[in-house]
Chain A
């Protein structure tokens, strides 16, 4: 049964130094506020898992919270590079970053296997690419047709953190709009935290919505605007100007560090 709690208490209880943590959300519903709370609580040596690292992991990598990144696409969507991610890989700043690199289809199927309690998933992919040699994937033959396929290992993060529009007082969660891989991440993880825009007395059914019953979630915390500068469909808008601003700001180590100190470590999440 999900415990309704504050963001700081939930992070303190659920996330430890050295954990593997998946903060998921595919462009939409990225849990920025929760990631910033991890930084304020000085979590270190994290294995950060995300299909698309986005600005949030750029910030966490630049602040030295990560020892490893498991991912498929490390860009600033529609804008260009993630400069802190690049600086870590190209120059080892602020420290070395181990990479485990996949394709989106591979990452998605790894989450599906984790959520299914299976050791691996089967897919067509990776063949012929240099990713196949780097990534932890293996050829497998279909026992029925003999077709050559690829097996990808399950992802089972220590903690999954997602953001949703609403939860009720029992911790039942409802999100709508682009669902990404959040349901799979929560079900694949050992522990889970959901931040929500608002807690309501009763969830009103929405077209195309996805529900997570409170009994599969460990903690729910109300964090209005908790996905900004990403967005929560129907409640907040994606701050595209911030994504462009980040491209300029994050090129410089000192400007980045000063901004993070002022807006994240010393203050509340930027709204």
Chain B
């Protein structure tokens, strides 16, 4: 299907567009590099021109015209409303819960949206050493809510994390409250196949949405645990020609 010469969106583009839509009525978003950054810039282009982009490097209100390679690219500092030190970023801005939404990625996600970005395998003798925590634990504890963006495969959506880097909903109801966390934790996991959201009571991730053309069975097969399904599973509204054109123009800059 093509609209005015625009080819159909691929799965990664749909994932980015769906993530951008989560920021329609959000004031502030904390973002890392890669797809989260692309989604946030897209949101500010298409849905929410007043969206405040906050990067971990200390650039608050950055207005990048291109998707930055690193979270500390010069353009972010030059266009920011404020540029602060790392201690200030965590102690004054993230810690007190001033940031509404945080986008986080991970190498492994479990059924309660806890995240691993430290090691695959045993910590002392890892099969794969991953970069590590960075800012994720405190960002996830304190930002108003967390949106996880991850590729959907059984390697990523695992029964049990090899390492708990970042707490999502812990072991279920009441876990975040017992730990004294301020934010609501993960409210959505956006993948290239669909969207998982925590059940309001059990906090377990539940399939609530599939992207157009994706079978529910495909999502179940790409998840290592027996994924719960919502009574009614929505189908993602496909990217509009405006969303897709803006996204492609952004990444081509």
A interface residues with partner B (beta carbon < 8 Å): 26-28, 51-52, 71-75, 77-79, 81-82, 85-86, 89-90, 101-105, 108-109, 111-112, 123-131, 134, 147-148, 177-181, 183-184, 208, 210, 231, 233, 237-238, 240, 243
Contact = CB atoms under 8 A, between A and B. Distances in A.
Contacts of B69: 77-79, 238, 240, 243
Contacts of A147: 180
A131 B137 contact: yes
B212 interface: no
B64 interface: no
A233 B141 contact: no
Contacts of A134: 123
Interface in B186-218: none
A126 B58 CA distance: 21
A78 B70 contact: yes
A244 to B, nearest CB: 8
Dominant SS among interface residues on chain A:
loop
Contact of A109 (B58, B91, B164, B175): B91
Contact of A180 (B86, B133, B136, B179): B86
Contacts of A52: 134
Contacts of B78: 233
Interface residues of B, number: 54
Contacts of A181: 85-87
A148 B138 contact: no
A137 B133 CA distance: 15
Interface in B47-77: 56-59, 68-74, 76-77
Contacts of B77: 28, 177-178, 233
Contacts of B71: 27, 77-78
Given A103-B134, A130-B165, A131-B118, 6 more contacts: A73-B131, A77-B71, A78-B71, A147-B180, A181-B85, A181-B87
B29 interface: no
B133 A233 contact: no
Dominant SS among interface residues on chain B:
loop
Given A105-B95, A179-B58, A112 B87 contact: yes
Contacts of B138: 103-105, 123-125
A181 B91 CA distance: 13
Interface of B: 33-34, 56-59, 68-74, 76-78, 83-87, 89-91, 94-95, 118, 123, 126-138, 141-142, 163-167, 170, 175, 179-182
Contacts of B137: 103, 105, 125-126, 129, 131
Contact of A184 (B87, B129, B130): B87
B164 A111 contact: no
B132 A71 contact: yes
A183 B70 contact: no
Contacts of B59: 178
Nearest to A208: B83
Nearest to A231: B74
Given A90-B129, A105-B94, A148 B180 contact: yes
Contact of A105 (B33, B74, B135): B135
Nearest to A101: B132
A81 B131 contact: yes
Contacts of A108: 85-87, 89-91
A104 B167 contact: no
Nearest to B82: A208
A74 B131 contact: yes
A103 B129 contact: no
Nearest to B34: A78
A80 B86 CA distance: 22
